[in-house]
Amino acid sequence: MAKLKINGKLVDVNVGGSTPLLWVLREQLGLTGTKYSCGIGLCGSCTVHIDGEAVRSCVVEVSALKESQEIVTIEGLSAEDDHPVQQAWAELDVPQCGYCQPGMIMTAAALLAKNSAPSDADIDATMTNICRCGTFNRVRRGSHLAVEIGKSGRSS
């Protein structure tokens, strides 16, 4: 049993300590926006925020988490899917199949929270998520557009 704070709510989860956070999110809590792909921390499709850091949830065991830590999934990133990154992604049609995109969005959102004017090199260095559809150019453009949307305070 563990108590975790997910998207602002404390939840009790009845799992073994070695269970990856990803499976708690998807199987216990039904937060299926966070995707499973490689399962070994390489692809980034399972990215969530823990205390504002982009973290690959498939390699975080529940026993490593404290209830004081703020875990945010794609479902909790914004109240109305209107985070600047989400707006930019929609405006530029960044996703293709879409599978990797929740992880991309969470990684971009964490980057922009720390770096308000990332260069292409900053984006490439941080956005190491894998996209089989090859959306990397649009991910980069979307990240720049999200900066502009954030500055303008635009909402969808």
**Cβ nearer to ligand FES, comparing 15 with 38:** 38
**Cβ nearer to ligand FES, comparing 92 with 99:** 99
CB of 28 to ligand FES, least distance (A): 17
- Interface contacts to ligand FES, rule CB under 6 A: 36-39, 41-46, 56, 58, 95-101, 131-133, 135
Task: Please say whether the dihedral angle defined by the alpha carbons of residues 49, 55, 61 and 67, taken in this order, is positive or negative.
Answer: negative
Rounded to 5, what percent of the chain is helix, strand, coil? 40, 15, 45
**Cβ nearer to ligand FES, comparing 45 with 78:** 45
**Cβ nearer to ligand FES, comparing 15 with 42:** 42
CB of 32 to ligand FES, least distance (A): 13
User: Nearest CA to 104 among 81, 138, 70?
Assistant: 138
CB of 117 to ligand FES, least distance (A): 25
Instruction: Report the alpha-carbon distance of residue 124 to residue 92 in Å, rounded.
Output: 18
- 61 near 20, Cβ under 8 Å? yes
